[in-house]
Amino acid sequence: MQWVQTYNSPSLAKPAPPFFFMQDPNPLQGKNSPLRPLPNLIFASRWLQLPLYLGLIAAQAIYVYHFWVELVHLIEAAFGSQAALQQLVTSIGYKSTAPLTSLNETVIMLVVLALIDVVMISNLLIMVIVGGYETFVSRMNLQGHPDQPEWLSHVNASVLKVKLATAIIGISSIHLLKTFINADNYSDRVLIAQTAIHIAFLLSAMAIAYTDKIMSGMASNGRH
Please tell me the predicted confidence (pLDDT) of residue 222. Answer: 63
**If pLDDT is split at 50, 70 and 90, which confidence band does 55 have?**
very high
Please tell me the predicted confidence (pLDDT) of residue 31. Answer: 57
Question: Does the pLDDT of residue 162 top 90, yes or no?
Answer: no
Mean pLDDT of the chain: 81
| pTM > 0.75: yes or no | no
Query: Which residues face 22 on adjacent strands?
Result: 3
Model confidence pLDDT, tens digit, residues 168-224: 999 999 989 988 888 888 888 989 999 999 999 999 989 988 888 888 777 666 665
